[in-house]
Structure 1
Amino acid sequence: MSETYITKVHEGQRPDAPTLVLLHGTGGDENQFFNLGRQLLPQAQIVAIRGDVSEGGALRYFRRTGEGVYDMEDLALRTKKMARFIEGLKADGPVVGLGYSNGANILASVMMTHPDLIDAGVLMHPLIPWSPEPAQALAGRRVLITAGRRDPICPAERTQALGDWFGAQGADTEIVWHEGGHEIVQDELTAIAGFLGEYPDG
């Protein structure tokens, strides 16, 4: 397994600018959220990461054996790789992660196992089908989860359980729902813009 990723990068406009790490969904690539990231935090360092696992030609960040059935050994290995990569960015300002679907899942896994690495995470339609270990170092971190109440891939009760878990660790956690499924809607983007507005150039 390679120790690096293919990325698309926009340099930050000042040394203490946030670093925004963008993680696409299954079948996406580093371009999926790049322009959105630049719109949301125009002065940030943007690092969009291409998944290095192929599922029938669709790019992902870790293997699975079926819908919602993860290869947990592979997930553990690739979570460590992602954490090392993010740590290697050596950001001077806050590190913010934004991931959708599979990208949200790897981001959540990094936050669970390396809770001091990500200052704030935007998890769009995540699915965490296991019970994470406690991670009290998440206290004071910020988490925004966006989800559809009728998402056939990410059941609402799983989403709520994930939000409850982050809250129990002391993270400042918010869930924003829409009435649809796995698609991204404008209300989510509005909520994300407000969440990122806490940062200097948001």
Structure 2
Amino acid sequence: MAEHPALDDSVALWSAPAAERAGRPLLILLHGYGADEHDLFGLVPYLPPQFVVAALRAPLAPPFPAPGYSWYPIEGLDGRDATHVTDAASLVVDWIDAVSADSPVGLLGFSQGAAVALQAMRLQPERFAFAVNLSGYATPGALPGDAALAIRRPPVFWGRGTHDDVIPSFLVEHTVMWLPEHADLSGRLYQGLTHSVSEPELDDVRIFLDKQLEHIASDSKT
């Protein structure tokens, strides 16, 4: 069984220094398998500048010779074990709670990071304002927070490619059924896109995030 050490706060990348973060919404970036915190941080110029963006590093090292880091194992007898996804999401929640007590928080993940983002929302349905799921999936199995999440229905953007052959089809099929029941779902299937992110998808993500900023601003006035 894989162990999940605490997230290394010293390697987190921030779009703004500590003195400029107070009172601003926080967007957490969760990279995919074999990558690191630098991978999605390159998206910062494409994201609304109102967000303070933090890119985290996953806690596990994939088996040699795979590079980078992973949130949970996808190989071996316990590969894609739902408990490992939940453990990783718990670490993300703990890290966020330590750095942001009051600010609205959104999650943006790619592949494994997207699965962890959705799992974090299930752990704390009231904690997160929205999630962006890029080439990821919802983890099968029930969690105690699912009923509350289905009532709250936070906004979720799901983007994936027609030529993505990395995520198993049964996980895509599960997500197609699960997400509309638990979230205010928007998104798009991108023709010809593989297991990656395209410029049209980033344009759609930007539109989605701009809408979330409007909702956050509206909620702050009520």
Q: Same fold (TM over 0.5)?
A: yes
Cα distance change, pair 39–148 in 1 and its aligned pair in 2 (3 A): closer
Which of 167, 172, 180 is equivalent to 1:159?
A: 172
Gaps of 5+ in 2: 217-222
Which of 27, 38, 48 is equivalent to 2:34?
A: 27
Query: 1 CA distance for matches of 2:54 and 2:72?
Result: 19
Task: Assess if the C-alpha contact under 8 Å between 1:87 and 1:117 holds in 2.
Answer: no
Task: Assess if the C-alpha contact under 8 Å between 1:146 and 1:177 holds in 2.
Answer: yes
After TM superposition, the score normalised by the length of structure 1 is 0.85
Query: 1 CA distance for matches of 2:89 and 2:114?
Result: 12
After TM superposition, the score normalised by the length of structure 2 is 0.78
Shift of 1:41: 2.2
Shift of 1:14: 6.0
Q: Aligned residue for 1:7? A: 12
Q: Aligned residue for 1:177? A: 189
Cα distance change, pair 160–193 in 1 and its aligned pair in 2 (3 A): farther
Task: Assess if the C-alpha contact under 8 Å between 1:20 and 1:45 holds in 2.
Answer: yes
Shift of 1:20: 0.7
> More helix by proportion, 1 or 2?
2
Query: 2 CA distance for matches of 1:90 and 1:194?
Result: 25
Cα distance change, pair 47–85 in 1 and its aligned pair in 2 (3 A): same
Give CA deviations for 1:138-186 in whole Å, capped at 9, x if unaligned.
Answer: 22411000011231112566435324323212x2111311122212112
Gaps of 5+ in 1: none
1:40 is the counterpart of 2:61 = no
Instruction: Please show how residues 8-157 of structure 1 align to structure 2 within 5 Å.
Output: 8-11=13-16, 13=20, 15-55=22-62, 56=64, 57-65=67-75, 69-128=79-138, 130-133=140-143, 135-138=146-149, 139-155=152-168
Task: Assess if the C-alpha contact under 8 Å between 1:150 and 1:156 holds in 2.
Answer: no
Q: Report the identity percentage.
A: 24
Query: 1 CA distance for matches of 2:49 and 2:146?
Result: 31
Query: 2 CA distance for matches of 1:150 and 1:69?
Result: 23
1:187 is the counterpart of 2:208 = no
Which structure has the larger Rg over C-alpha atoms? Answer: 2
Name the count of aligned residue pairs: 200
Query: 2 CA distance for matches of 1:162 and 1:72?
Result: 14
> More strand by proportion, 1 or 2?
1
Shift of 1:75: 2.8
Q: Which amino acid in the other structure matches residue 95 of structure 1? A: V
Shift of 1:90: 1.7
Name whichever of 145-154 and 8-17 sits farther off: 8-17
Task: Assess if the C-alpha contact under 8 Å between 1:163 and 1:174 holds in 2.
Answer: no
Query: 2 CA distance for matches of 1:4 and 1:39?
Result: 26
Task: Assess if the C-alpha contact under 8 Å between 2:82 and 2:141 holds in 1.
Answer: no
Give CA deviations for 1:115-158 in whole Å, capped at 9, x if unaligned.
Answer: 22221100000134524446133224110000112311125664
